[in-house]
Structure 1
Amino acid sequence: MKKFARIFKYLGDKKGNILLYFLFNLLSILFSLVSLAMLAPFLQLLFGKEKLLTAEPAFEWTAAGVMQYMKFQLSHLISDNGPVYALAAICITIIISIFFKNLFLYLGLRVLTPMRNHVMTKLRAELYSRILQLPIGYFTEQRKGDIISRMSNDINEVEWSIIGAMEVLIKEPLTLIIVVVSLIFLSPALSMFLLILLPLTGFVIGRVSRTLKKQSNTAQEQQGLLLSVLDETLGGMRVIKAFNAEKLISGKFSGINKYLNHVRNMMNFRRDLASPMSEFLGVMVLTAILWFGGRLVLNNQAGLEADGFITYIVFFTQIINPAKAFSNAFYNVQRGSAAIARIEEIITAPLKVEEAPDAKPLHSFNSSIEFRNVSFAYEDAIILDDINLVIEKGKTIALVGSSGSGKSTLADLVPRFHDVTKGEILIDGVNIKSYTLESVREQLSIVTQEPILFNDTIAANIALGKPDATQAEIEHAARVANAHDFISHKEDGYQTNIGDRGSKLSGGERQRLTIARALLKNPPILILDEATSSLDTESERLVQDAIDHMMQNRTSIVIAHRLSTIRHADEIIVLQKGKIVERGNHDSLITQNGFYKRLVDMQEVK
């Protein structure tokens, strides 16, 4: 039950609904038993198979005592009003009982449905919220398709296997308990025999379902792989076609798809075995009771008359369908528990970047950003080693180095996408961890090498960091970013939808939108991952002009790929294998004739 603790937690504020659902099902079961209990003994009395009772028996809380008292009442009804009237009374009573049985059954479902949807809404919200909270590093380890699979397929599996089984797991055990109690009340001797056989059937069903959870987990993992391949296919369609790799990618997809088909077949074979197996085992128990109990009745050893034994058998038949439903639900819960485990992996993933309980807001950036003896390691790999750097307000600092030297990681430490392993980062002399995450990130904007846009309108993308921006503010930011002209030529202007990841725009247009977005936020700190390195000459000029406008009167950290763009930086930091190997302005680094000079020479040769 620990696996489902999260679901029970979501139901914590629904205790009233749970009690109502329990009550409605209890009443439904009782009315169902009333209708069944009236048939065999009362019809025997009505059709003359048994003599009418003329003397009122003493009422006793035993099966025989209750039955005798009810027979006396029916005998009295037959004597006073005739058998036809009594038959009508029995029929009306049965109709009323069945009506109330189904009414309470419906009311139970009316109570259950909002609880079911409430749990799923809370689970989706918590999972999505956790995804937003997890550090950037978490997503470099995970396949995007697998995370999407957990958010979609695993959530659906939980809904249909576990939440769908909630009805059965409450109603059917309740039915079984009430029926078994009724059977014990009717005949303790026969019921002892029953209580030995039922656990044996449950043990058999449990053994068969044992591997279902493992198979379900495998199926969900393969579904995640399938979505990952699909995501890579959609994102790399140009490359796939250019390299005639359709067969290779199709073969990869087909292999995963066939294995997923095999695993799901095996799962369904086991699940589909639940209902017929439980019915067969139930009938075996029924046959055993019929043989054993019939002999006791015939030998007058059961404490039951023939009509009571028939009622006992009728009641026992009411165990078979709930047992079938319960075994099906049990199989489904085994499948769902694997899905819950996969969802829990994300929800319980550690937050490596956490906000201090007493964190205070950073209202403004006034003096400097300082890296003091900063080191950062990812697992066993050292990415940054003992970095000491002060970035004064209003200065432009460029980060230069070969691929993997730690440039992006160093810049990512400022917005706390990662936390330092050793040392500290200070803003205005205060450790960055002392500030709230939101307030730190409010002081900066990032323009990445690859423009990251969303499937929304141009205006909505520009206003991402300032949702309450006016149209005039959005247009001003677009003008400064050299984007207003191309936006104005769009049919719907600023309300034009740009498609998935901005696919309806050119590379230069996408990049100018990201600059407009950063400008509208108007932060004092800018982090720029060379935004012009993948653009054509004309687009590069427009984007570079926009960047120059944006950097005015701001503190800028520039990750430089094209060294020609950072000649006028106040300080250039040269990184190699996570260490600062050179530092200074462009001219001083050229005169040092070191690593930076070699990089400049290589780019000039190109």
Structure 2
Amino acid sequence: MAKDDQVAMFDMKKDLREYFKVARPYAFFFGLIAFFVLLMSLATVGEKFVFKILLDEGANFVAGSVTKAQFIELILSLALAFIGVFVTKAASNWLRLHFINRAEGSMMLDLKKKFFGHIVGLSYKFHTTHRTGSLIARMTRGAGSIEGITDFISIGIFTLIIQMIVVFISVAFFDLVSAVMLVVVMLAFIFYVLFFLRAQQKARLALNNAEDSEKAFVSDVFTNIDTIKYFGKENRTSSLFVDFASKTKGGFIKNWDFDRWTEAGQTFIIGAGIMLLLYFPLIKFLNGEISIGTIAFIYTVYLNVAEPLGAFIWGMRRFYQSLADFHSLTQYGDLKKDVVDKVNAPALKIGKGKIEFNDVSFTYHKKEVITNFSLKVNPNEKVAIVGYSGSGKTTLIKLLYRLYDLNSGSISIDGKNITGVKQESLRSELSIVPQECILFNDTIYNNVVFANPKAPRSEVISALKAAQLYDFVIGLPEKENTYVGERGIKLSGGEKQRLSIARAILAKRKVLVLDEATSSLDSKTEAQIKDALNMLMKNKTTIIIAHRLSTIMEADKIIVLDKGKIVQSGKHNELINQKGIYRGLWNMQKGGYIE
């Protein structure tokens, strides 16, 4: 299990710039949202003003200065106005949410496309050093953070600012001092909460890291459930999970404890605000300068502002949480590929399939893995590479695929240096049958057609037949539409390997790599797929990485590696008659495996 990332405060300005890059195409939507928020704010103040008129005229009616008929006529007029206000509020709210939903949905899709593509495109080294569970968690949280940030801007900020402007103007019309006090209370409220939310950020980031570690552990467990079952380590694994979950619990509690201060402070400031806000209007009322309706208007408007203010604070708390989630994803945007295409690099198209390793050396983690390796593989030639575990066989394939860059030397295909062509085109021109065929949790058909998405169904079926898998497939209830399960768990080792061969057949590539394609199979299953492999290798330049020497006896050339260097080269019959590693391996195996 990888160690947790260290907690670090992020650059809010940088993350907001990244957010606004995502939001910029939808600026028109945000303009419409602000317009409908303005309509709602005006309608809300209008509603309070209607109530003010009703109170003042009701007092006049009680005092006898307004007749009953006049008061009834006024009530009917106010009722119509009230209906208009609520229709405006309802329609504006519906339209506001309509455009918020469209903006958020589109922005989430844009963010997912951008960072999924970026992360998938990062170099092989990145994916071997980052936990799958953590990446999934950050992708999910990062995309979901768009909703929290956008809601805060469109619902929290827009609503509060517009509401405060409208309320300030309307209250100032009756009493400027009350309007100023209203602004002071609101600002005190906002800055108090901002202080604690900012202090809470480190705790939130620590919580995110704890959750990522827990999810990464869970992902590791379920990916390796067979190992846990085989070794009877269910209880130990559960105990380890409790350790991770306990750290997450501590992170949640530390994060939530900040809410004690923010909630208590909010209550105090709102209460003090009410006292200050009513003091000055009441003095004026006692002096006969304003009416009881005006006091009610100021009070209800203040309470009405308290609602969006509460929403603003709740939104800001969610905003800070969402920004931390957003950062956990967007920080990957700063990562660059270790293996980079040259500017305007052309796509590679393999014709003959001639491969040359020229004085190749490669160091990994300060250990020299390949040293001065040179090899020519002619078109349609079948070259096998053997050696003890750790001799550098699979590393050569990774270098051929340019998953890593060389320390020195070069690799060329048809005379073209692979560092001078686009990586994706290089890899798409090669075909491989790996030792462990990892399948998508999809249908048999889709797993095969992955190698050549444009292939017609007839070619997919032909590939299944050539791989001697078709008889098995048509015996299934759903035939080629049968789901294989996660990582192909519903298929046997031989069935998965045949499917991998079918995929390679469908790819129709001139260069083929067999990376220990049969080493995990028993001898009977290996014999069953031998014909499929022979058909697959026909008219192809083939590099075979093998532990089982019986599978490479017919190779045109066999290369023996030891500690990253070629120590023997020749055909099978030549090598078994020479003193050296190959004859030793052959004598040890007797048709078995290299240990």
Q: TM-score, normalised by structure 1?
A: 0.87
- 1:447-596 correspondence runs (5 A): 447-590=433-576, 593-596=579-582
Q: What one-letter code is carried by the residue in structure 2 that aligns with 1:365?
A: G
Tell me the alpha carbon deviations over residues 503-532 of structure 1, each in whole angstroms, 9 at most, x when there is no partner.
222211111111111012121101111111
Specify the alignment match of 2:25 in structure 1. 13
- 1:97-246 correspondence runs (5 A): 97-156=85-144, 158-166=145-153, 167-246=155-234
Question: Measured at CA, do residues 310 and 474 of structure 1 come closer, stay the same or move farther in structure 2, by a change above 3 Å?
Answer: closer
Specify the alignment match of 1:26 in structure 2. 38
Question: Measured at CA, do residues 174 and 269 of structure 1 come closer, stay the same or move farther in structure 2, by a change above 3 Å?
Answer: farther
Specify the alignment match of 1:86 in structure 2. 74
Tell me the alpha carbon deviations over residues 541-580 of structure 1, each in whole angstroms, 9 at most, x when there is no partner.
1123322222122111111212332233333333333344
8 Å contact kept, 2:125–2:338 = no
Instruction: Determine the C-alpha separation between the residues in 2 that align with 1:564 and 1:453.
Output: 27
Question: Measured at CA, do residues 561 and 334 of structure 1 come closer, stay the same or move farther in structure 2, by a change above 3 Å?
Answer: same
Instruction: Determine the C-alpha separation between the residues in 1 that align with 2:408 and 2:297.
Output: 77
Question: Measured at CA, do residues 233 and 137 of structure 1 come closer, stay the same or move farther in structure 2, by a change above 3 Å?
Answer: same
**2:344 partner SS:** coil
8 Å contact kept, 2:350–2:414 = no
Identity of aligned residues (%): 29
Specify the alignment match of 1:61 in structure 2. none
8 Å contact kept, 1:365–1:443 = no
Instruction: Determine the C-alpha separation between the residues in 2 that align with 1:515 and 1:175.
Output: 66
Tell me the alpha carbon deviations over residues 69-91 of structure 1, each in whole angstroms, 9 at most, x when there is no partner.
xxxxxx9xx68962221222123
8 Å contact kept, 2:515–2:545 = yes
User: After the TM superposition, which of the residue ranges 189-198 and 205-214 deviates more from structure 2?
Assistant: 189-198
Q: What one-letter code is carried by the residue in structure 2 that aligns with 1:17?
A: F
Q: What one-letter code is carried by the residue in structure 1 that aligns with 2:454?
A: D
**Equivalent residue for 2:431, pick from 445, 464, 468:** 445
**2:400 partner SS:** coil
**2:377 partner SS:** strand
Instruction: Determine the C-alpha separation between the residues in 1 that align with 2:576 and 2:75.
Output: 111
Report whether the alignment pairs 1:325 with 2:337: no
Report whether the alignment pairs 1:363 with 2:349: yes
8 Å contact kept, 1:278–1:327 = no
Specify the alignment match of 1:250 in structure 2. 238
- Kindly report structure 1 stretches of 4+ aligned residues shifted beyond 6 Å: 49-52, 78-81
**Equivalent residue for 1:287, pick from 252, 272, 275:** 275
Question: Measured at CA, do residues 231 and 307 of structure 1 come closer, stay the same or move farther in structure 2, by a change above 3 Å?
Answer: closer
8 Å contact kept, 1:371–1:426 = yes
Question: Measured at CA, do residues 92 and 273 of structure 1 come closer, stay the same or move farther in structure 2, by a change above 3 Å?
Answer: farther
Alignment gaps of 5+ in structure 1 = 53-74
- 1:379-390 correspondence runs (5 A): 380-390=366-376
Q: What one-letter code is carried by the residue in structure 1 that aligns with 2:398?
A: D
Instruction: Determine the C-alpha separation between the residues in 2 that align with 1:457 and 1:45.
Output: 75
8 Å contact kept, 1:275–1:328 = no
Deviation at 1:20, TM superposition (A): 0.9
Q: TM-score, normalised by structure 2?
A: 0.88
Instruction: Determine the C-alpha separation between the residues in 2 that align with 1:237 and 1:111.
Output: 45
Question: Measured at CA, do residues 84 and 470 of structure 1 come closer, stay the same or move farther in structure 2, by a change above 3 Å?
Answer: closer
8 Å contact kept, 2:448–2:460 = yes
Instruction: Determine the C-alpha separation between the residues in 2 that align with 1:520 and 1:145.
Output: 32
Instruction: Determine the C-alpha separation between the residues in 2 that align with 1:24 and 1:41.
Output: 26
Deviation at 1:194, TM superposition (A): 4.3
Instruction: Determine the C-alpha separation between the residues in 1 that align with 2:286 and 2:559.
Output: 100
Paired residues in the alignment total 579
Instruction: Determine the C-alpha separation between the residues in 2 that align with 1:282 and 1:143.
Output: 46
Q: What one-letter code is carried by the residue in structure 2 that aligns with 1:9?
A: K
Instruction: Determine the C-alpha separation between the residues in 2 that align with 1:334 and 1:598.
Output: 64
Deviation at 1:196, TM superposition (A): 4.0
Instruction: Determine the C-alpha separation between the residues in 2 that align with 1:567 and 1:397.
Output: 11
Aligned alpha-carbon RMSD (Å): 3.0
Q: What one-letter code is carried by the residue in structure 1 that aligns with 2:41?
A: I
Question: Measured at CA, do residues 499 and 196 of structure 1 come closer, stay the same or move farther in structure 2, by a change above 3 Å?
Answer: closer
User: After the TM superposition, which of the residue ranges 31-40 and 243-252 deviates more from structure 2?
Assistant: 31-40
8 Å contact kept, 1:179–1:318 = no
Question: Measured at CA, do residues 401 and 178 of structure 1 come closer, stay the same or move farther in structure 2, by a change above 3 Å?
Answer: farther
Alignment gaps of 5+ in structure 2 = 1-12
Instruction: Determine the C-alpha separation between the residues in 2 that align with 1:198 and 1:602.
Output: 83
Instruction: Determine the C-alpha separation between the residues in 2 that align with 1:188 and 1:583.
Output: 96
Deviation at 1:539, TM superposition (A): 0.2
